[in-house]
Amino acid sequence: MSVGLDARRFIREKRDGGRHRPEEITAFVRSFVAGDLPDYQASAWLMAAFLRGLDEEETDALTRALLHSGRVFDWSTLGTPSADKHSTGGVGDKVSLVLAPLVAACGVLVPMVSGRGLGHTGGTLDKLESIPGLRTTLAAEAMRSQLESIGVVMVGQGPEITPGDGRLYALRDVTSTVEFEPFIVSSIVSKKVAEGARAIAYDVKCGNGAFMKTRADASHLAHRLVTTTRALGPAAAALVTDMSQPLGRAAGNALEVRESVELLRGKGPADVRALTLELAAIMLRLAGVEATHEAALARATRALDDGAAWERFLAMVRAQGGDPASVERADGLPRAPVVVKVPASAAGVVRAVDTFTLGSLVVAIGGGRRSQEDAIDPRVGIVFERRIGDLVARGEPLAEMHLAAPDEAAVVNASACFEIGGATAPPSLVLERVD
C-alpha cells in the first residue's frame, strides 16, 4: 500500500463524519490506481462519503487527484486558444456534433473527449460511429496533428486520461453511489481539464428527461462545476437548460447525425440551433477570441450560416477515417427498414412529454445500451413531430418510429408518453446562466 495511507483509518474518519486533508485524498487515489488498495476498501469509502458528504475543499482535492492520476494534455504550444463543452446528457442532445466544428471554424481548438450512451441518454461517440469508417480512438500524437491541421478532434476517453476516475466510476456504478454531486463534479471536471481545454462550457440539463430533475439541483451542480473548474485553472461558465422534452426532432444515432448535418447546412430545428450558438458564444468568449457575448454570438452565427462549420465537419470526418460522402448524400447513413407513425390518442394541445420514457424506449428498440457490452443499431430511433404547446388532432402523428422490425408495443408506448389536454405554454430553453 502507498506510503502515508492507512486505509482503515481513512474509511473510519469519513464514516464518523470527519473531514479529509487534501494529501489524504491524494494518497487514497494513488493507492487505488497503483492497485495497492483493494476494491472492497475503496467501495467502503465511496459509501461512507456518499452518506456523510464531501465539502468543497474535499471535492476540489478529489478532482485534482483524479486529474493527475493520468496524463494531462497541454495544447498551448500550438499557439491557439482551446475550449470544450460538456453536457450532462439528454434525449436528442446532438449539440456537440455541430458545436465542435463550429467553434473550430471560429479559430479555437476543440479537443473534445466524449462518452458513449448509457441509460436513457445517447452518447456522442455512438452517434459519430454511425458514420461509416469513422474512428473515435486516436493516439495522442494523432490528436495533436489533427488539432494543428483542422482545429477539432472528437474522440473517446483513452486509458491515459484520468484512469483513477475510470476505476472509481466502475465501483460507483455497482455500489449505487453514482448520484452524488461531489463524485459527479470530480469525475466530469477531472476529465475535461485533463484533455487540455483551457475554457469549458457546461450544459446542465434539467427536467424529467435529465439526470437532475429539479431546477434547484441542476443550478447547484452548474455552480459547483464552474467553481471547481476555475479552481484548477481553466475558465468556465454554464447554462442550465430544459430537458422536459427532447432536444430537436431526432433521437437515435444516425437520425441525430442526419439532423446535425441539416443544421450545419442551414436547416434543422430552431432549438438545437439556438442552444448550439449560445454555447459556441460562451466558448469563444471564455477562450478570449471575442470580448463580449454579443460579438461571440455574431461570429458563431456567421460561421454556421456561411458554411465554414460544415466544411470543418467534413474535414474532421475525413481526418478520422469516415466517409464524407455518407453525410453529404441524403441516403448515405444507415436507415431503418420499418418506419411507423405514432398517432395521437386524442385531440388537443401537447401539455407534457415523458422524455425519460421516450429515451428509454430508444434504448429498448436497439438505439442504446443497458450495459457497456450491448451492441447498438445505428438505424433506429424516434423522430418527433409535435412539441409541448403544439395543437394536434386525434390520429395525427406525434412522432415517427424508426424500427429494425415491426413493433406494435413500442408504438403504443411512444404514444402514451405524450399528454394531450388544454392550452399550455412551451417551456423556455435556457433556464439559467452561471458565469
Known catalytic residues are 86, 165, 172, 187, 191
Could you tell me which of 266, 246, 271 has the C-alpha nearest to residue 383? 246
Rounded Cα distance between 131 and 332, Å, is 9
Cα-based angle 209, 207, 293 (whole degrees, multiple of 5): 110
Question: Taking a C-beta distance cutoff of 8 angstroms, is the pair 96, 85 a contact?
Answer: yes
Rounded Cα distance between 344 and 65, Å, is 52
Could you tell me which of 9, 190, 161, 10 has the C-alpha nearest to residue 73? 161
HEC sequence for 241-271: EECCCCCCCEECHHHHHHHHHHHHCCCCCHH
Rounded Cα distance between 353 and 278, Å, is 24
Rounded Cα distance between 348 and 68, Å, is 55
Cβ-based neighbour number of residue 140 at 10 Å: 12
> Rg (Cα) of the chain, in Å, rounded?
22
Which residue's entry shows cell 385531440?
347
DSSP per position, 149-193:
HHSEEEEE--TTS-HHHHHHHHHHHHTT--S-HHHHHHHHHHHHH
Tell me the torsion sign for CA atoms 206, 211, 217, 221.
negative
Which residue's entry shows cell 479559430?
107
Could you tell me which of 92, 88, 78, 307 has the C-alpha nearest to residue 198? 78
| Buried-exposed string 188-210: b where 16+ CB fall within 10 A, e elsewhere | bbbbbbbbbbbbbbbbbbbbbbb
**Grid cell of 237 as nine digits:** 461558465
